[in-house]
Every structure is written in structure tokens, then in C-alpha cells.
Structure 1
Amino acid sequence: MSDQSNSTIGVDDSDAAASDQDDTDRDYVASLARGLEVICAFTRDKPTMTLSDVAKATGMSRATARRLLLTLVREGYAEKRDRDFSLRPKVLQLGYSALASVGILDVVQPVMNALSQRTQESIYTAVLTGDDVTYLARSTPDRVISVSINIGNRLPAYAVSTGRVLLAGESDAALERYFARLTLEKHTTNTVRSIKQLRAVIEETRECGYSLVDEELEVGVRSLSVPIYDAAGHVIAALNACCPSMRFPVEDMREKLVPELRAAAQSINERFQQG
């Protein structure tokens, strides 16, 4: 009786494992997996690709890649211009949900709120998305006059302090690829004028650990940013203060806001290191 019971248990375990595998196979949605592959095929180095490029990058047939790309276009996650496809900002909703789910926003938001009330300036957290920065979180003060950037807004990385802090955290190889494909646009008379100048500014940002941009994207706005690190010491975001130029001279920002932002960023970094 004992031997028969053991034998039966062995058969049941095997059957259960097979059943689990069957369930896994039945639950697997190949089209969803392939759609995610297509999204991930677009990178910072390849923000725009043709149908052939996507098919080659994913190993899919042109017909399959075309169906998936046109589905993404129809749903607003991608766009098509002539023969080229690229992702649209809507795809950032996926990343925003992921960041929120792992608690990053829960960590930065209370620190930002306290910093905004203490300094009475607009405070933001931004990440690098392609060649732009995307603003994930904000906290605004009680002041009537303050700088307002909406969550989800994308701005060119080269022209804003958040972007320069995040670019400074990139590897030399990644930076060279960025410089190679970059076209500078003159937003104001202060906007950085050449790749050589931008390269020097980013190197300076690496050395001093912060970036201060004086009316390079918009007249009347100065911004200051410091890096946020993950537990492994990688730059994952930028903590930013935006100020109307008429209220905050450059030297006052260096003297008063740099220590405030650094202390706030350190608090965020310590929370990430704790878990």
C-alpha cells in the first residue's frame, strides 16, 4: 500500500508539472510579446527606424513587423512619417506606470514637496528618454509666480540642466553617439552654440556634480539640477529647481540652491540604498 501511494504521488507530481507547463503555454500571448519586442527595438541610438530595420532588429518577418508597427501607430504609441517609424510620447505611460509600481515616485515626491516648500521654487524629477528629458514628477510652491512644467513634458536634453546632468551620467561611448546624431537648435541667444561647447559643458557638469542653465531654452527661466543615483551608483534621474530669472540671480542659485538640491538628492539616494 505504501509503495503504491508513493508511486501515485510521483505520477501526480509529474502530471502537475505538465499541467503547469500547459497552463503557461495557454496563457502566453505571442502577439503581445512580439509587440513589446518592437517597442524595445527603438533605442536611444535608433529612435527612428524603417520597417526593414525593425524586422532585422527583432528577427521577425516584414509582414509581422508591419502589422505590429501599424497597430502601435493606430493606438497612438508610434508614428509613421514616409518610410520611418518612431515611438510617440504615449509609450512613456508604460514606463511611468512601471516607475510608479516600483516605488520611485513614492521616494522622490515627499522629498520634492518638502524642498519646494522650503525654497518656494518649482521642483521636478526628470529622466532621459532618447535625446530628450521627460518630467516624471513635480512639486510647486505657494508663490503666485512660479515656473510650471507639466508631468510628461519632453524637452531637448542639451538645452536644460536636467538633460546635462543625465548626459553627464552616460558613458563616453554613449555620449559620442549622442553628439554624432545631435542637431542643435537655437532657442534663445544663450543656447549652447556648438557640439564642442556642449561637450565642455557636460564635462564641467561631471566635475562639479550639478548643472545650472541660464535662459538657454526659454528667456526668463533659469534652472539647476543635480543627479539622483540608484543603489548601484548609476545616475537614474535628475532633481531640478526652475526659477524665474528676475527672482534668482545666477550666483544666488549657486550659493543657496545647490546645497538645498544636493541635500535633497542625498536623502533620495539614501532611501534607494536602504531598499
Structure 2
Amino acid sequence: MASTAFEDSADYVQSLARGLQVLRAFDRELPSASLSEVAERTDLSRAVVRRSLLTLQHLGYVGSRGRSFFLTPRVLELGYSYLTSLDLTELAQQSMELLSQRVGESCSMAVLDGSDIVYVLRVPVRRVMSLALGVGARLPAFAASLGRVMLADLPEAELAVWLRAQKFRAYTPQTIRSASALKVELRRVREQGYALVSRELEPGLCSIAVPIHAGDGRVVAALNVGMPYSEEAPARAVQQILPALREAQRAIEQAIRRGGWLPHLAMKHAYE
């Protein structure tokens, strides 16, 4: 794969890659960790992890308490730099607030990052998922409505590479858990122009999403509405919420065209 070839080149900075790997070891499940725990999670040696943690601590991105390390608020600067370069969130804010008020449900915008979606804007009404979702939160793209509308736009060759890199996990009994089944679903999503996901990430969640196109036609993000699951939720999502979702989609895309906005950063795919 191209990424493996680059790692063998003179341009690849291994220490930087390892430092970022150490940063990503911390999450909601592991907010504070010992050197050994970080080494185990990253599959790096204790010596490498120690140097990385001490360097990150010196730079202010990591703090320590006893033998435990934790991220400091300074790491938010990294994500904030991305969000401020992504003017799309400013263009979408008002439309998403109107959408949320109209349907009485939470709505979110996300971009595709490798195997995951990353939330870049969210207008919550009430908590639907047990997971705490906010800007920067990540979810597996294959099982999320936001992810599926973006994956459906990938060229066949890119999608094939993406699928080979996935490790499918059954989050619930309803979760699509194979590449072949996902390809069938993505074909349906592409044809109908929206993705409906019911009880695949959590038993109590139903969500519906549409793609957001830049002025050049590329899908650069996705917009969704999430709601508690009930027997009536899927029908309500398609019949009542989808028309409002599409209105917000059109408003955001019109704002993009009027502003001449194009992504400042290419969509990053970890599988490339």
C-alpha cells in the first residue's frame, strides 16, 4: 500500500508519527494512563513511549500526576486550527440550528477521516446515544449514517481499498458486519441520496443523513438528524425529517456556492 511505501522513504519522520500515536492513545476510556498502558495500547516500546510523553509534556500537550499521564487542554489547539480553517462550519451553523428547531431533534455534521467519521459541528437537543458526542468525537464510518453517505460517494477503486482496510465489528445484532453487505447498502444509499441507520450503533438510536457537496461537486461532509429508536422512527425519519434535512442540505450547499468555498484541506484517508 502507498502508506507503507512512504513509511520506508527518507521523507517519513518516524518520531513525529510515534508522538501522534501516543497522543491518540488517550480517549474517553483511557483519559489517564501509565507509561506501560500507553506502550501496550500503541504497541510501541516503553523507551519510545517515555521519550514521546516527556517531549509532549515539555511542549505542554501532556501533564502528569504521579506515574500517570493525561492530555492537557492545549491539545484542543490542534483541532481548533482545523475547524477554523474549515469555514464550512460557519456556513452550516444557522441552517443546522433551524433544522434542529424544526424537527425537534439533534443534528450533526461530520467529515470522513480514514475508517471514522469526525464530528465538526453539532446542535444537540437531547442525549440520544450513551456515548458523549461533541466536536472531535469519532465513530466508525461503516455503521453511521453520516459515514455511509460519504462512503457512497467514493469511486469504486477507492471504496474497494477502504473496505479491505476495515475490521467490521457488530455493535448490535442489527449491525452490518461484512464488506459485501455494506457494498449493497452503499449502492442503495447512492441511488436514494440518503442513508438511514437504525439500531446499528446502539439499540436505542435511529439516524438519517444526507451528503454535503462543495461547489465542484465533491462530497466534503455529511449532515444528519438522530432520534431515539421506536417502531415508528424509520418511517418518521424518511417521511417527515428527510424533507427538512434536504432543505438544510440545499441551504448549506447554496451558501458554499455563493461563498466560493472549497476545502482548504483534502479529505484525509488513512488507507491511502
1:169 matched to 2:153: yes
1:159-198 equivalence runs, <5 A = 159-198=143-182
- State the match for 1:114 in structure 2: 98
Whole-Å Cα distance in 2 between the matches of residues 161 and 130 of structure 1? 16
- Name which structure has the greater RCO, CA cutoff 8 Å, separation 6+: 2
Q: CA deviation at 1:109?
A: 1.0
Check the 8 A contact 1:166/1:237 in 2, yes or no.
Answer: yes
Render the CA deviation track for 1:36-83: whole Å, top value 9, x for unaligned.
Answer: xxxxxxx9x74xx6xx85241x535xxxx3443455456x26884248
Q: Secondary structure at the match of 2:254?
A: helix
Whole-angstrom distance in 2 between the partners of 1:71 and 1:180: 27
- Taking the TM superposition and a 5 Å limit, the aligned residue runs for 1:101-180 are 101-141=85-125, 146-147=128-129, 149-180=133-164
Query: Cα distance, 1:92 vs. partner?
Result: 8.8
1:81 aligns with 2:29: no
Q: 1:225 to 1:104 in 2, by over 3 A?
A: same
CA distance in 1, matches of 2:238, 2:98: 20
2:262 match: none
Q: Which ranges of structure 2 fall in alignment gaps of 5 or more residues?
A: 26-37, 50-70, 260-272
2:16 counterpart of 1:54: no
Q: Are residues 70 and 160 of structure 1, via their aligned partners in 2, closer, same or farther at CA, if it must alter by over 3 Å?
A: closer
Q: Is the 8 A contact 1:212 1:223 kept in 2?
A: yes
- In the superposition, relative to structure 1, how do residues 70 and 96 fare at CA in structure 2: closer, same or farther (>3 Å)? same
Per-residue deviation, 1:193: 3.0
Q: Which residue of 1 aligns with 2:241?
A: 257
- Give the letter aligned to residue 87 of structure 2: G
- For the residues of structure 1 that align with 2:148 and 2:75, how far apart are their CA atoms? 23
- Distance in 2, matches of 1:110 and 1:264, equals 9
Deviations 1:145-200 (A, max 9, x none): 64562221111111010010010111111100011121211110100132111000
AA aligned to 1:54 is E
**Higher share of residues assigned helix:** 1
Deviation at 1:138, TM superposition (A): 0.7
Match of 1:218 among 196, 199, 202: 202
Give the structure 2 partner of residue 201 of structure 1. 185
Structure 1 counterpart of 2:11, one-letter code: G
Q: Residue 210 of structure 2: SS of its match in structure 1?
A: strand
Task: Supply the distance in 2 between the matched residues of 1:201 and 1:91 (Cα, whole angstroms).
Answer: 37
Contact persistence 2:214–2:257 (CA under 8 A) = yes
CA deviation digits over 1:101-125, x for unaligned, max 9?
A: 3421111111111110111000000
Q: Provide the TM-score with structure 2 as the length reference.
A: 0.71
Secondary structure of the corresponding residue to residue 235 of structure 2: helix
Cα 1:120–1:132 change in 2 (3 A) is same
Equivalent position SS for 1:111: helix
Q: Counterpart amino acid of 1:59?
A: D
Distance 2:99 2:231 in 1: 17
- Over 3 Å counting, the alpha-carbon distance change for 1:105 and 1:146 in structure 2 is same
- CA shift in 2, pair 1:145/1:166, >3 Å: closer
User: Partner amino acid for 1:81?
Assistant: D
Q: Partners of 1:146 and 1:68 in 2: how far apart?
A: 37
- The one-letter code matched in structure 2 to 1:68 is L
Letter in 1 for 2:16: L
Distance 1:69 1:179, change over 3 A: closer
Once residues 177 and 92 of structure 1 are traced to their aligned partners in structure 2, the CA distance between those partners, rounded to angstroms, is 31
SS of residue matched to 1:264: helix
Give the equivalent residue in structure 2 for 1:6: none
Q: Provide the residue aligned with 1:231 in structure 2.
A: 215
Map of 1:246 onto structure 2: 230
Question: 1 CA distance for matches of 2:175 and 2:77?
Answer: 30
The alignment of Structure 1 onto Structure 2 pairs a total of residues equal to: 217
Equivalences for residues 14-29 of structure 1 within 5 A: none
